[in-house]
Structure formats: C-alpha cells, structure tokens
Chains A and B, each alone.
Chain A
Amino acid sequence: MSTNGPAGETNLRPHSQRLSSQRLVRREFLYGMGASLGSVALTAMMASDLDAAADGPLAPRPQQAPAQAQRCIFLMMEGGPSHIDTFDPKPELERLHLQEFNRSGEQKSAMESGKRYFVKSPFKFRQAGQSGADMAENWSHLAGVADDLCFYRGCQVDSVNHPTAMYQMNCGNRFGGDPAMGAWVTYGLGSVNQNLPGFVVLPADSYPQGGSANWSNGYLPAHFQGTPLRPTGSPILDLNPPAGVSRQRQRQNLDLIATLNQQHAAQHPTHDDLSARIANYELAFRMQMQVPEVLDMSDEDQRTLDMYGVGKEPTDAFGRKCLLARKLVSSGVRFVQLYHGSWDSHDYIARAHGSLVSAVDQPIAALIQDLKDRGLLDTTLIVWCGEFGRSPDNGVRGGTAYGRDHNPKAMTMWMAGGGVNAGHTIGATDETGAQAVENVRHVRDVHVTLLRLLGLDDNKLTFYHAGRFKQLSQFGGKVIDELIA
C-alpha cells in the first residue's frame, strides 16, 4: 500500500511498515526507533537473497538529477564552532578588542543584551594552499588539503538555542521530529549495500542536545532512521542475550518460537504480518554473528592508523570515527554523520577551540586524503559545519576568560569532494563577523544545495504527511550555484 497524497500522487517508496512480505522485512535495519539506542543492522548474511535488494525499502534508486557525489560524510561540530577563530579572520577585532558597548531591545535574548565587549581572536591566521584559503594556523593538517575545500560564509539560521539550531541544521525544522537529511538522502537514493544500514551516525561520548531526534526518520518509514553505532558497549542494544545463554540455547528457543508460530499461522492464513515477524527472528539470530565483523579495524595497516591519529591523543577518538566513516562509505553506506563537540566556547575560547581543533584537524585531513588516494573523494560529499557561528563580542563573563556567544547570523561551513566548487570561498561576513553580508542564504538553501550535490531535487524528494507534501527545506529553497563546480 502506498501512501497517497490528495491528488493521487504517491510517495517515492512504499510505506513499508504496512507491507508484510518477508523480503521487505529483511531490509529493516534500524535499531531503536529514534531512541537513544545504538544499533547497526547489518545483515551480511542477506547477500544470498539478492532479489530482496531490488525492491526493498533500502534498494538503490537513481539520482533525480545528474551529480557526481553518491554518498555523504557529514562532520557535525555540535555546539557552534566560531567562524572568527577558524576560517573567517577578522583583523578589525584587533582594533576593537575589549571595547565595551551596550545592547538592548526586546529582540535580544538575555545572552545577547547588556554590557558587551569585542573580543579579538587568539589565533593567528594564514592563507593555505594555492587557493589561499583563510585558516587559523592550528589547522596544520587541514591546510594540506585546503585546495579541496569550498568554504561558505553566507549561511544563516533561525535559532540561537542549541537543540533547535541542531534540529534545523539536521532536519530543516527547528522543533524536531522531522526526518534528518541522512534519512531523506537514504529515502531518495537507497543504499548500495543491502548488508549495512543506509544512514549511520557516529555520536560523541555524550549525545548532543536534542538527542537522537537529530538523526530521526521523522515521518519517513522506520528504515530510514539513522543507526547510531555506539562508541562503547554493544554497538546495537540487546544484540546478545544476557550472560549465560548459550548460542545453542538461543537456537533451540528460536526453533520453539518458530514451531509455535507455524501452528498459529495455520489458523490465521489471512493475517499477513505473521510471516514477516517469523522472518525477523531468523534475521536477528544471524545478525548477532555478523555485526561485530563490520566494526573490526584489524585489517587496517599501521600507516593508515597513524595517518588518522588512531592510537595517540588527542586524535584517537575522532580518528577512529573518521576511519570508520571511510570504511562504511567504502562498503556502500549512503550517509555517515560524525559528531564532535562541544564547540560551545563561551569562555576561554583560546584553550577550548585550541583543544577541539587539535582533536579533529589531523583525522579530518586524513579522511580527505585517504578518500582521494582511494579515488573516492570525487564521488563523496564531505560537509563540515556546526549549528550556528559565534559572536564577535562577549558578555562580561569574568576578566580574561574570553569567549564568544551564539550567532545565528554568521557561520562558516565547508564542503569537499564530489561536485563542490573546491578552492573557493563563497560569501562573506561583515568586518567583525557579526553577520553574513554577501551571498547570504537561509540554511534551507544549503539543504537544497547539498541534496543537489547528491543528485536529489528537494522539490521532488517529498513525502506526503499530515495534510501536505513535506520536504527537507520545509517550504522549498534555491540551489546556491556558487558552491557547485
């Protein structure tokens, strides 16, 4: 049964939870509906039933428009990295440093109002690569791949609060509950490898504000939900029974369930759901074996591990994530989102941003170089951003502990890989970095552009829900042509 819109139009894919054929059930990967759960739902064993790939909910689908990029790695720096201290130098702040002023009015939050002073960046800047990209000097590794990046300084968002801004960046809607971009992309393009989830999330140690709604499938069918791979513990919750239950006992219990279910099904021949549920038990049993194999890093050589900074501080944690991201996209995962943070440096920005950059700089540069070496960069879209930028000024928060507040009116994001206008910086902010002034676009246009880079048309990638066709950009938007090569 398809979900029909008012004019008889149908959604791209069948609303598969209403379907009950065994084939479809086997593609239901997600673990934990949006929950704070982890899961992978990898089903290497399913390689045998090839027919399933052809029509399952995660079956690959053609792009809606020609594009180079076929997959996406989204580096989400949650907390709001400061553009002023990373990729958008503001010499004017040297002059204004510690000048005080007052700001008031009912359009100001408590954070923005009252006594403020300008703060210069504690970081020195340089121009990297042949393109002369602006970068703070502490991005020493990223500078090596500067010419592969396309910086964008024109994006604006609507919210100054973390969870609502995160929801907007991830899902288009500030209030959560809508599908994340990864869910939309997987819905639109399916996944190349039917043995892995289409949309994988690698969260930080702690979940971001707003929690798992940041990788929700929203109103899209459950298959398109982001599957978080837990950094510690069981990668999928309850993948295994409590201690003391042998595999043999598991098998016997499953056999008993199967027998009970078969007897029951004989009395309810019209009830289609039964066979789907029976099939799920077999699939789950095999997944217990297969899941750990996918996460195994022992086949990577030392040079690769060193390149990503795996095994040394402060790069180990994010280095592992970047390497895993490469492994996942190489095996056909459509969309991988990595979290790092919190970049919410209200105080001591020199120290805080300093440590944050040193934790991600080498791993990110390694990821780009590695994909390039493997010939995958041209077909992979990499996005780096936070949920908003930071202010050129600070509230009076105590002497020398300079930091910056939230700023929805200016930020820097960059893209690399398939189809992006590499080696260019697009848009500009004003002389203090307070707001974008050139090529200013709402985040919805960024979403439309990212979809376009992946061969998707935001106006076609829609889903009928609650009375209207919904889309990532919410109400439609325009491609930012300058970001595309």
Chain B
Amino acid sequence: MFRQLITLTLLTLIAVESAVLAADDSSRDLSNESETLFVRRIEPLLRTKCWGCHGNDADAIEGELDLRQLDHLLAGGESGEPSLLPGRPDDSPLYLVMTRSSEDWSAMPPKQAEAITEEQQRWVHRWIETGAHWPSSERQTEIANDYADRWSAEDGVTVQTSGGLDEAWTNRRYKPETLWGYQPVVRPVVDAADGDHAAIDALIDQAMPAGLEPVGPVDRTTLIRRATFDLIGLPPTPAEIDAFVDDPRDDDSAFATVVDRLLDSPHYGERMAQHWLDVVRYADSSGLANDFHRGGAWRYRDYVVRSFNDDKPYDQFVIEQIAGDEWKPDDPEMHIATGFLRMGPWELTGMEVPKVARQRFLDDVTNSVGETFLAHSLQCAKCHDHKFDPVPTQDYYGIQAVFATTQLAERKTPRLKSENVHGFELERYLDVRRKEYQRILAELDQVLLDNALQWYANNGLADDDWREIVDRLQAENHSGVFNEARKEIGQGRSEQEYPPKLVGFTPQEFGRERVARKGLQALAFEYDTYRPFALSVYNGRTPQVKSINAPFRMPDDRMTKGELEQGHILTGGDPFSPGQPVRPSVLSVLGDIQTEPIPETIAGRRLALAQWIADPRNPLTTRTIVNRIWMWHFGTPIAGNPNNFGSTGKPPTHPQLLDWLAATLVDDGWSIKQLHRRIMLSAAYRRGTEPVDRKQWAELDPTGTSYAVFRPRRLTAEEIRDAMLAASGELTPTVGGLPCQPEINLEVALQPRQVMGAFAAAWTPDPLPQDRHRRSIYACRLRGLADPIQEVFNTPSPDFSCEQRDASNVTPQVFALFNSRRSHARALALANRCLNETDTDQEAIDLCYRLVYGRAATADQQQLIQQHWQQTEQQLPDHATAWTQQPTEVQRDAVEENTGEPFRFVETLHSNKDFVPDLQPTEVDKHTRALADICLAILNSNEFVYVY
C-alpha cells in the first residue's frame, strides 16, 4: 500500500514534469506522435491482444490489471508495480512482457501463437518513449478522422458487412491482398492464339521464374496412365494403351481422343464423386454413440456419381444439394440430393438435451455449406466476429437462420430408373438376424417370468394377481410379457410390491438382453438400405423429440406442431443464450450480388441461399470449385487451402489463372467436363516429372509451384485397391447401388466395438466375390469401423471435411500391402489370370507388367522375373497351406454394464455360411503360386503405387 502511494507520487511528479516540458515545440511534436501512434497502432493492439483478459470482463480481470485506461496501467495490477513508465520503455513491464525475453516478467499474451510481432513491439516502444499519451475518446475520434485517408492508403481498407458485435470490428481495416477471394472474378486478357488451353499455359508461363526451363511433354505410355488414373481412378487397359501409343495423329489430337473417351466413361463420375465425398464427409453411418446405419445414404452417393457423369452444370449441382426439395419438390432425385445437408455425424440419444443436439446440426450444416461451396470455415464466427476475415457473427447466425426450418428425416422417396437395385436379396440376412434377436428376447422373457415367481416366493408375497395378468397376456400372444405385466401390476402399487425389472438376471442374461434389444434398434436403420427412403430433409417446425431410436419419418403435422425456430445470435454459441434476433441472410461481404432477400417463410429459405451461392457473380463459389478441380489434376491447388480462402488460408500462387478458370467455367455453362478438357490439354498437364536441370529447379522453384515439372503422386487408397482388382480381373465394374462389404482384416472385422449400451454387429463381407469386389467408393463406410488398409493409406476420416488428401509414407503401409490377405489374394488371382490368358511364361510376365505398370517388361526384367519365378517354384511345398476362412460364428467377451462382470455370447455370422471365397492357393498349381509371389512383389513396387 505504501509502495503504491509512493509510486503514485512519483508518477504525479513525472506528469507535472511532462506538462512543463510540453511547452516546448519538440515536445509538442513528440506528444502528437505519441497520440497518433496510440490511435493508429496501440489502441487496436491492446484491444485485440490484451483486453480479452485485462479489461473486457470486469468480473474476471487477470492479475487485477485493467489495461483499458491509462491510470490503471500507471497504477499496475496485483504485482504492485506500474505497467508503464512513460518515457522509459525498457523499464516498462507492458513492453517487456511483449518481448517475451524478460527475466522478471512472463511473456504476454500467454499464447505463443499470438505473440506481438517485432514491428508491433517497436510501436509500443516508441509510444512509451514519446510519453505514452492516451488521448480522450473525443480526441481519438478527431485524430482518426484527420488521418483517415492517409491511413487507409497505408493500413488497408474497411469492408462493408452487416456489422460486428462492436464498432471496432465493423470499422477495422484489412490488407487488400487478404481480400482476394471477395473481389469479382475478372477474366484476364491473355494473348494466346492457339485455342483456350493455350491460355492456361500462357498464364503459367507468365509466372514462371525467370530462367527456369519447363520440362517437355511426357511419353504417351506415361501420359495415358496419368490421365486414366486422374479421370477414372483405374489403370488403362493394355488395349487402350496400344490404341493411344499407336495413334498416328499428332499428340494433341490423339490425347484429346483419350480425354474424351475417359470423360465419357461411367467410371469418371465415380472418381469425381470420391473427391466430392471427401469434402462433404460421406459415410453410411451416423457416428457418435450409436453409429446407426444411414440406410438411404448410398442414394446420395449415387446422385453425386450421376451428376458428374451427366456433366450437370455446377450451379445446378449446388442448388440441388442445398435446396433440391424446394426447387423441384416433385422430383424424387432432388430429395436425394439434399442428403448433402445430412452428411455430418449426428444422432439424438436420450442422454442428450434435444436443443443441444439440434444446435449441433445447425452449426454443422452452416459450417459445411461455407467450407464446401464458399471455401470459408464459418465456424470461426460462431462465438465472436471472425478474427481475421470480414465475417461477422451476425452473418453466421444469418446463414444458420436459413436452416432454422430445415428438419431431418429419412423421407419416402421412390426409386429412380437410373438407380441400381442389384443385390436387394441380401436383405434376407437382416431378416435372419431380426428373428434371432426376437427369439433371444422371447427366451429371456420366459426366464424373467420364472424369476418373477421366485421373487414373489422369496419375498413372501402373494403372486395371484401377477399370475393372472401373465396368463392373460400370454393368451393374447403378447411379446415381452414380463415388461407388460410389470407395467400393469405397477398401477397403484409401490415398487417394493412387485418384481424389479430384469429380475434375477445373470450377467450373461443381462448382456444377451441388451445385445438383442439394441440389435433390433440398429437393424431398423439398416433395413432402410433396401427400402425406398432417402437421407433427406423437409421444411417445418422443429418436432419435439427426446431421442431417435428408429428412422425418423416426415410427420404430417410438420407445419403446425413443434417450435417455429427464430434466428438469434447465440451468445458464446450457447443455444440457451439467445441474443439479438437475426433474419436469414447470406454472407454480407458479398451481399451486393444478392437479387432477392431470403424469405422468412418456412419454405424457400434454402433455395434463396443456394441461388445466391450459385450466382455466376459469386466469386467464392466459382473460384472454390475450379481450385478443387485443378488440385484433382495437379495434386496442388492454386489457392493452397481449398476449404479456406480467408486470410489464414494460403493465397493463390496464380491468381490470374484461378480467375481465368472461374470465368471460363461460367462461360462454358458451368460444365466441369469442359474444364477437365481445357486443363488436361494444356502443356503444363502433359509435362514430364524429371526437371531439365535439377539444381536449377530446386533453386528457382523452391516451393514447387511453378508447374515447370509435373509432380508425381502416390495412388490413393481407393485407387490401390481398385487397380489391384482391375489387374487381377476380379473387379465388378457395375456403377452405383447398395453399399458393398469387402473382406477387411479379420481381426478388425470381429473386434468387439461398443455402441450405446451394447455391441455393434461384426463386419461380415458380402458372400459373393462379384458383390464384394466392387469399386472402393461403394464399400460401406461406417464411422466407427474403418477398413484398416484404406485408413493407413490416408482415406480421410468422415468426421471432418477433407480439402486435400495426405499421402503419408509410414511403415504400417508395408504390413498392409505386403502381408495382408487382401494383397495375397489379388496377387494369386493376377497370377492365375496372366497364366490363363497367355501361352508362355514370357507372355504371362509381359501381361502382368502391362496390367500393373501399363508397359511391357524389358528383356532384362524378363530374365530377372523368370529367374525368381523358377527359384520360388523350386522352394515351394507341393501342397499349399490353406488360408483362414470366414468364421460362421464369433465368441464375444465383454464386461457387462449392469453387473460389471464379464459375460460372453456367441454372435452368429449368418451371411458367412454362404460365403464364397476368392481363388485359394490350394486351388492352383505350384507354377501359379510361384508367379503369385512375383505378382505380390510387383503390386508392392514403387512403379505401381506412384503415377508419373
């Protein structure tokens, strides 16, 4: 206390001293400098970096130090020392904490990531040095007005939005270069005489580092493999390779034919859909506690495949996914399209507060629309105005209000003619499981009825009433007699007077009851796979539902019953803290391109939002999609973060190229296929992968973004599996249809996995090889059970939008590709095919090379392989060892929840009784088995897993 008094006295002296000095001219200059520095630099710095913990919340001021007013700074906080000594920056804690290198004062702000930059430190240093003047708020406004023009030129521009939670945010300045995404797309003038693809090359050449020589065109054999994997995700067949290599026409014409053929392939849509599903987080289950199946999800997946195959204009593709049901309510396909809005993990269990779960959906869909179509992660504006981008919280809740009347349902949606309904007989396995669960429950019902009588005896109570009720219910053929009888007898009795639920169960019985009961619930969702329902939405009031344990159908009273949700800014993102009301709106920074305001009627909001997104003048939309498509060809996007065009994302390396592509897309009637053609016919796409001069390339293009060299890539998990199936001849090329269940690692398939209150059923593969050997995009994706091989090769988790695949290189990939049954099975089938389709060993080797590598073996390689083949064949035993077969039942051990004791049950794997295995080593001769070893090596080699 004394110390503070002394400090204050000293400060008063200093203040007096400054006042005296202020008479001096040079000192007036200093104080002017100090004041303007404060307004321009210091106040904004304190506000963004300090006030969060030192001022804004008067009830929670860190270290008792309030940095909003000068006198508090001069007085200091709990340390008792002043934070600021005017004129003495190097002794001022305010400055010292910012340097993060003081021995006496800990670094501030605490987060390393928010450290004050050196330039900012210099401002603070100078401000203190010049006397740390803190003008009154009137004077601050005056200074700001006086300097407005000059500062605007130097410090950036303000942006018109719907406004932030405070004035300072609304008026803040942005560096113009961080706003590139919002600028209108301007088609650059390109001097390119030789057609449109030449424009791409002209724009790339313009930006080419001086002196860097681009690589020439790659050979045709390499190019067709590159183009084929790029467009259809499969290897070219030997016949396709021959046709291209032998095409006598010039490279441009010959390659244009290849590109057109690939764009016409039904597999083109599958490959593009895989990219799209990464972004939208497709899965066949809901995730979280129950991980229930989403039976109708596959219809959305096929809708995406069809849309790409039909070259649906992209603006239409956008509208259909956000608001197809509003746009064309009578078209069932449009209901399927809105499955997009349902892609996030979501469920409502009885454990969760319904309003919180509802809010989870609203937050999810708001962010997903932003990321997918606008390259904006909107969730950053959920609790506060966006820290870096012109996205106010108001806009976040404005866009969210568009979805306030959007409700989730599995809607009855008739089958389309274009949908593949093959394999629907597999539903019978669900029937078998359902009957089994029902049988278990009936059996346990009898146990409970017996235990109930025992309970009456043990408790010395009369059981006459109980018996009478039970007899009657049994006569009525009631199922679940015990529970029903409990309900009846409980009327007017206290709980001590009748048997408790699940009376007298052993841990075994507790466990079995749960597994059967929860199993029936899960089956109800799985049945939707085979039934004409779509994972979809409808417009209406929010139904009052406490938990969802069966597929939810659209209610008849949707317009009258339930809450009509009103849009609000939610304070801190909390659904129980509604703040200022908001109207449904678009992103206000691009509000000027909105033609009609979003209606506040129950229906029609989404369509209005979608039309704003799909407006050709919306620069985020067009840039977002062309940036993605560019990345799908080159591996690198033009703007480095395809889901984030804000100032924290990487800016475009070739902004003019990005705009040219965006403008051209619109001019081409939003045709994606036309965009592929333009990109693939460019010289940049057809370059080789080895630089002309390695050293020069490394020096002149250190980030590898010049496109002087084409960058090789590793095949994705899906391409590896599909290409192996294609090479072995086992691939079923059917497009669309039910999710298939390939064989996955058996230990993982049978691994017990908890879902709410019980265990999920084991993964059972489709019994017939032709069903399970479909392309990977059709493999059933359960959020709670990933195929380990796909995962280790970087198939992304469907919980978050994946803007760009990783291609990691880790040791477990070796176990997956070299040791797994899957690889051994493909190698065996490939060997068998090569021998069956040829007459000599040499031809067999050649075919293997052509199928896997897309080229013939050289003479040296022929010799190497033949030698290895002979050596292996000599060593192999005459009789092959049989592989482990799919089991027909599996024993489950778990800790039972009611008793905490272990329990065990046997799960029957019904479909495995009909399982037809792939080609087995015991079915082929030694010569074939030896070749299979070679095929395994070839499928593991770098030449297979990389595309050049």
Binding site for B on A (CB under 8 A): 5-7, 9, 17, 20, 25, 28-39, 41, 79, 106-111, 160-164, 175-177, 204-213, 221-223, 230, 233-234, 236-246, 248-249, 252-253, 256-257, 259-261, 263-265, 268-271, 273-274, 276-278, 280-281, 283-284, 287, 314, 341-348, 351-356, 359, 396-401, 403, 406, 459-460, 462, 464, 466-469, 471, 476
Least CB separation from B748: chain A residue:
A36
Q: How far is the CA of A319 from the CA of B946 in the complex (A)?
A: 46
Question: B565 to chain A: closest CB distance in Å?
Answer: 13
Q: Do A346 and B897 contact each other (CB < 8 Å), given the known contacts A222-B808, A249-B933?
A: yes
Q: Is the CB of A345 within 8 A of B502?
A: no
- Chain A residue at minimum C-beta to C-beta distance from B697: A270
Query: Nearest CB to that of A462 among chain B residues?
Result: B113
Report the separation of the CA atoms of residues A108 and B500 in the bound assembly, to the nearest whole angstrom.
26
How far apart are the CA atoms of A68 and B865 in the complex, in Å? 58
Chain A residues lying within 8 Å of B938, measured Cβ to Cβ, are 260
Q: In the bound complex, how far is the Cα of B631 from the Cα of A125, in angstroms?
A: 64
Q: Which residues of B contact A273 (CB under 8 A)?
A: 712, 714, 809, 946
List 15 contacting pairs A-B, 8 Å CB cutoff, sorted by A: A6-B648, A17-B809, A31-B792, A109-B354, A161-B352, A175-B799, A177-B797, A241-B824, A261-B943, A268-B690, A268-B948, A346-B897, A398-B486, A466-B643, A471-B111
Residue in B810, B820, B880 whose CB lies within 8 Å of A28: B810
Cα(A110)–Cα(B349), bound, Å: 8
Contact present for A206 and B759 (CB under 8 Å)? yes
Bound-state Cα–Cα, A30 to B794, Å: 13
Shortest B7–chain A CB gap in Å is 28
Q: Are B821 and A160 in contact (CB under 8 A)?
A: no
Whether the pair A278, B942 counts as a contact (CB closer than 8 A) is: yes
Q: Which of A34, A206, A211, A398 contacts B500 (CB 8 A)?
A: A398
| Stretch of B134-142, B298-306, B581-589, B750-758 that contacts chain A | B750-758
Give the docked Cα–Cα distance between A29 and B349 (Å): 37
How far is it, in angstroms, between the C-alpha of A29 and the C-alpha of B792 when the chains are bound?
12
Residues of A within 8 A of B691 (CB): 270
Interface string of B321-351 (1 = CB under 8 A from A): 0000000000000000000000001000111
User: CB distance B380 to A352 under 8 Å?
Assistant: no
Interfacial chain A residues near B812, Cβ < 8 Å: 28, 30-33, 37, 39, 41, 236-237
B743 to chain A, nearest CB (A): 12
**Interchain CA distance A329-B294 in the complex, whole Å:** 42
* Interface residue from A37, A41, A261 paired with B942 (Cβ < 8 Å): A261
Partner of B754, one of A342, A348, A464, A471: A342
B576 contacts A237, C-beta separation under 8 Å = no
Q: Are A17 and B808 in touch, CB under 8 angstroms?
A: yes
Q: Is B811 an interface residue (CB 8 A)?
A: yes
A-B pairs, top 8 by smallest CB distance, nearest first, are A244-B881, A399-B500, A398-B501, A469-B113, A355-B900, A467-B648, A206-B752, A284-B814
B residues apposed to A, CB below 8 Å: 110-113, 115, 117, 287-289, 345, 349-355, 377, 380, 387-388, 486, 495-496, 498-502, 546-547, 576, 641, 643-644, 646-649, 689-691, 694, 697, 709, 712, 714, 745, 747-748, 751-756, 759, 784-788, 791-792, 794, 797, 799-800, 806-816, 818-821, 824, 861, 864, 868, 871-872, 875-877, 880-884, 893-895, 897-902, 921, 933-934, 936-938, 940-943, 945-946, 948
B786 surroundings in chain A (CB, below 8 A):
34-36, 212
B112 touches A459 (CB 8 A): yes
The CB with the most chain A CB atoms within 10 A, among B353, B937, B942, is that of B942
Give A243 to B380 CA distance when docked, in angstroms.
52
Shortest B422–chain A CB gap in Å is 29
User: Is A230's CB under 8 angstroms from B747's CB?
Assistant: yes
Cβ B791 vs Cβ A34 within 8 A: yes
- A235–chain B nearest beta-carbon distance, Å: 10
**Is there contact, CB below 8 Å, between A348 and B898?**
yes
Q: Could you tell me if A238 and B820 are in contact, using CB atoms closer than 8 angstroms?
A: yes
Task: Find chain B residues with CB under 8 A from A459 CB.
Answer: 110-113
In the complex, besides A253-B937, A284-B815, 13 extra interface pairs with C-beta distance below 8 angstroms are A17-B808, A37-B792, A37-B812, A106-B353, A161-B288, A177-B799, A207-B751, A213-B797, A237-B747, A245-B824, A270-B694, A342-B897, A468-B380
Which A residues are CB-close (under 8 A) to B871? 252
CB <8 Å contact, B756 and A283: no
Chain A residue numbers with a CB within 8 Å of B354 are 106, 109
Give the distance to chain B from A62, nearest Cβ to Cβ, in Å. 15
Give the residue of A241, A341, A399 whose beta carbon is less than 8 angstroms from that of B495.
A399
CB distance A406 to B754 under 8 Å?
Answer: no
Q: Roughly how many angstroms separate A260 CA and B388 CA in the complex, as a whole number? A: 51
Q: Kindly state the separation between the CA atoms of A302 and B188 in the bound complex, as whole angstroms.
A: 80
Q: Is the CB of A30 within 8 A of B824?
A: no
* Chain A residues within an 8 Å CB radius of B500: 398-401
A204 to B759, CA, bound (A): 13
Select which of B113, B353, B644, B712 is within 8 A of A109 by beta carbon: B353
| Interchain CB contact under 8 A, A222 and B810 | yes
Chain B interface mostly helix, strand, loop or mixed? loop
- Contact in complex: A270, B689 (CB < 8 Å): yes
Q: Contact between A108 and B937 (Cβ–Cβ < 8 Å)?
A: no
A36 B785 Cβ-Cβ under 8 A: yes
| Complex-state Cα separation, A264 to B864, whole angstroms | 14
Contact call A111/B941, Cβ cutoff below 8 A = no
Taking a contact as CB atoms under 8 Å apart, the answer to whether A160 and B352 are in contact is yes
Select from chain A the residue with minimum beta-carbon distance to B704: A1
- A476, B368: Cα distance in complex, Å: 25
Question: B698 — nearest CB in chain A belongs to which residue?
Answer: A270
- Bound complex: CA A244 to CA B920 (Å): 12
> Is B349 in contact with A268, judged by CB distance below 8 angstroms?
no
Docked Cα-Cα span, A427 to B751, in Å, equals 40
Whole-angstrom distance from the CB of A187 to the nearest CB of chain B?
A: 14
- Indicate if the CB atoms of A36 and B496 lie closer than 8 Å: no
Once A17-B809, A230-B747 are accepted as A-B contacts, the answer to whether A243 and B350 lie under 8 Å apart by CB is no
Tell me the smallest distance from the CB of B820 to a CB of chain A, in Å.
5
Q: Which chain A positions have C-beta within 8 A of B861?
A: 263
Residue from A110, A213, A396, A401 whose CB has the most chain B CB atoms within 10 Å: A110
Q: Report whether A238 and B816 are in contact in the complex, using a CB–CB cutoff of 8 Å.
A: yes
Residue contact A109 to B351, C-beta cutoff 8 Å: yes
Partner of B753 from the list A37, A161, A207, A243 (CB cut-off 8 Å) is A207
- B496 and A399 contacting across the interface, CB-CB below 8 Å: yes
By the criterion CB–CB under 8 Å, are A30 and B810 in contact?
Answer: yes
Cβ-defined contact, A406 with B748, below 8 A:
no
Is the CB–CB distance between B898 and A468 below 8 Å? Answer: no
- Nearest CB to that of A271 among chain B residues? B712
CB <8 Å contact, A17 and B806: yes
For residue B876, which residues in chain A have a CB less than 8 angstroms away from its CB? 249
Cα–Cα, bound, A162→B496 (Å): 31
Check if B921 sits within 8 Å of A244, measured CB to CB: yes
**B498 / chain A contacts, CB cutoff of 8 Å:** 399
Query: Given that A243-B881, A257-B937, A352-B898 are known contacts, is A401 also in contact with B501, CB under 8 Å in the complex?
Result: yes
Contact present for A211 and B883 (CB under 8 Å): no
Q: Kindly list chain A residues whose C-beta atoms are within 8 Å of the C-beta of B759.
A: 206
Known A-B contacts A263-B861, A467-B380; the reply to A280 vs B745 at CB < 8 A is no
Contact B289 A111 (CB under 8 A): no
Is the pair B745, A264 in contact by a Cβ cutoff of 8 Å? no
A103 CA / B784 CA spacing, docked (Å): 34
Chain B residues, CB < 8 A from A351: 898-901
* Shortest beta-carbon distance from B635 to chain A in Å: 12
User: Given B117, B808, B818, B893, which contacts A7 in the complex, CB threshold below 8 Å?
Assistant: B117
CB contacts (< 8 Å) of B807 on chain A: these are 17
Are B881's CB and A260's CB within 8 A?
A: no
Taking a contact as CB atoms closer than 8 A, the residue among B289, B877, B897, B941 that contacts A261 in the complex is B941
CA distance A186 to B348 in the complex (A): 35
Contact A252 B898 (CB under 8 A): no
Q: Say whether B941 contacts A211, CB under 8 Å.
A: no
A476 close to B937 (CB less than 8 A): no
Does B353 contact A241, Cβ atoms closer than 8 Å?
no
Give the CA-CA distance A261 to B943 in the complex, in Å: 7
B861 (CB) vs chain A CBs: closest residue: A263
Question: Nearest Cβ in chain B — how far from A37, in angstroms?
Answer: 4
Task: Note all chain A residues with C-beta closer than 8 A to B547.
Answer: 110
